[in-house]
Amino acid sequence: MKFGRPICLFLMIAVADLAFAGSPVLAGDFPAVIKLKDIDGTNGFRLSGARTTHLSGPGGDVNHDGFDDIILSEPGWNTRCCEGAGAAFVVYGRASFPSLVKLERLDRGSGFRLVGSSPEGRAGESVAVGGDLNGDGFADMLVGSPHVATIGRESGAAYLVFGKSSPFRK
């Protein structure tokens, strides 16, 4: 059994856009061509470690630190218990980023992973971060798992995870 697929995803996100710090970035501030190999942490960053197929963000401040966060997922992620359980990765926004963010190494300061627990449940088939459904001031996250079979074959489920400032426990 494999645990996640260690491939790279190149995603260029302008740091000013992700962090929403300072004045807005104007279209004229970018060159006509940006080579992804030139992303160095000052002009964006690379996320690696999963075959992420779904992305939502930036869309809300999950940990209420003043920066919007992103959530992306790999529905085919394998866990120790289950192949195809799926996973979603929440990456906290911040003022500056390293050139590479490894999704499998997120820690309490950089983000966290939400992992499915059903074989072929495909948690993360759909993901969203945004609204504050419980009114506590923190953006909440929604993770869809279409094949988790909660009430019958392939019935599926959606999980709402409340945002909060304290770290999530294992």
Nearest residue to 79 (alpha-carbon basis) of 135, 138, 145 = 145
β-strand partners of 114:
88
List all residues 6 or more positions away from 169 whose beta carbon is below 8 Å from its beta carbon: none
pLDDT digit string (tens) for the chain, length 170 residues: 333 333 333 333 333 333 333 344 455 677 788 888 999 988 888 888 877 777 776 678 999 899 999 898 998 888 888 898 999 999 999 999 999 999 988 988 899 999 998 888 899 898 988 789 999 999 999 999 988 877 777 678 899 999 998 766 65
Residue for token pair 């192949």? 83
β-strand partners of 71:
56, 90
Residue 99 CA to residue 34 CA, distance in Å, equals 15
Residue 59 CA to residue 54 CA, distance in Å, equals 14
| Residue 45 contacts residue 98 (beta carbons within 8 Å) | yes
Residue 91 phi, psi (nearest 5): -110, 120
Nearest residue to 85 (alpha-carbon basis) of 148, 149, 9, 169 = 148
Question: Whole-prediction pTM value?
Answer: 0.75
Which residue type, as a one-letter code, is found at position 98?
Answer: P
List all residues 6 or more positions away from 31 whose beta carbon is below 8 Å from its beta carbon: none
